[in-house]
């Protein structure tokens, strides 16, 4: 008889330390609901990060254009967009190349759009204006971006899926 009571105690201990199927299903359901609620927030974070990179790239390009204009008398900006099509290459007063040619360096590496899958994708737009100036533009993914404007208000920006653009005018 004593042997049987030990088994009952062991069964009671084993029963208390395990989870029932219902408890496991409830926990799985709660985790599923939480992940469904949080997943869109994480996807938005990637869009915002790419947009921040695009804005930073445009500001760097604007700085390089200012360096370029300081080398020209009277002050002028490039008339073509060759420097933008040289993604990943060096842009200097000596030209564009995979290594920096002789002369003043404007950009060691011309930036590539963060979501670009090929080097021929044009994500940044540049237009030289008649008075010494320029317009730089890029499409944004995040439609709620506070620095973005409606693309149709800027003719040089082209069309964007989100209809939100970031523009630098000089």
pTM beyond cutoff 0.75 = no
State the DSSP code for 161. Answer: S
The pLDDT of residue 84? 74
- Phi, psi at 154, each rounded to 5°: -120, 105
The pLDDT of residue 120? 44
The pLDDT of residue 44? 81
Q: What DSSP letter does each residue of 85-154 carry, written as one string?
A: HSTTSEEETTEEESSPPSS-EEESS----TT--STT---EEEEEETTTEEEEEEE-S-TT-TT-EEGGG-
Q: Which residues contact 96 (CB under 8 A, 6 or more apart)?
A: 82, 83, 86, 89, 90, 110
Q: Which has the closest alpha carbon to 156: 164, 167, 140, 148? A: 167
Let me know: does 79 contact 87? Beta carbons within 8 Å. no
Q: Which residues contact 98 (CB under 8 A, 6 or more apart)?
A: 89, 90
The pLDDT of residue 155? 63
Domain ranges of the chain: 22-169
Alpha-carbon Rg for the chain in angstroms: 29
Question: What does the pLDDT profile of the chain (170 residues) look like in tens digits?
Answer: 455 555 666 655 555 678 899 999 999 999 999 988 888 777 788 888 999 999 999 999 999 999 888 888 888 888 877 677 778 888 888 888 888 877 888 889 888 888 875 544 557 888 887 777 888 888 888 888 888 888 776 666 767 778 888 988 88
The pLDDT of residue 16? 60
The pLDDT of residue 27? 95
The pLDDT of residue 6? 59
Q: What DSSP letter does each residue of 59-92 carry, written as one string?
A: HHHHHHHHHHHHTSSS----SS-HHHHSTTSEEE
The residue to which tokens 């921040």 are assigned = 52
Alpha carbon distance 147, 149 (integer Å): 7
The pLDDT of residue 146? 87
């Amino acid at each position: 008889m004593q042997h049987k009571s030990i088994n009952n105690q062991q069964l009671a201990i084993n029963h208390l330390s395990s989870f029932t199927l219902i408890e496991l299903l409830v926990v799985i359901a709660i985790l599923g609901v939480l992940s469904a609620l949080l997943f869109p927030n994480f996807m938005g974070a990637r869009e915002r990060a790419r947009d921040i990179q695009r804005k930073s790239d445009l500001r760097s390009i604007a700085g390089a254009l200012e360096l370029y204009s300081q080398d020209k008398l009277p002050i002028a900006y490039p008339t073509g967009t060759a420097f933008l099509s040289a993604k990943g290459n060096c842009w200097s007063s000596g030209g564009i190349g995979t290594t920096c040619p002789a002369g003043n360096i404007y950009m060691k590496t011309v930036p590539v759009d963060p979501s670009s899958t090929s080097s021929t994708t044009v994500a940044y737009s540049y237009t030289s204006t008649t008075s010494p100036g320029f317009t730089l533009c890029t499409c944004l993914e995040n439609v709620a971006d506070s620095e973005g404007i409606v693309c149709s208000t800027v003719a040089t920006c082209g069309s964007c899926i989100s209809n939100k653009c970031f523009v630098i005018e000089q």
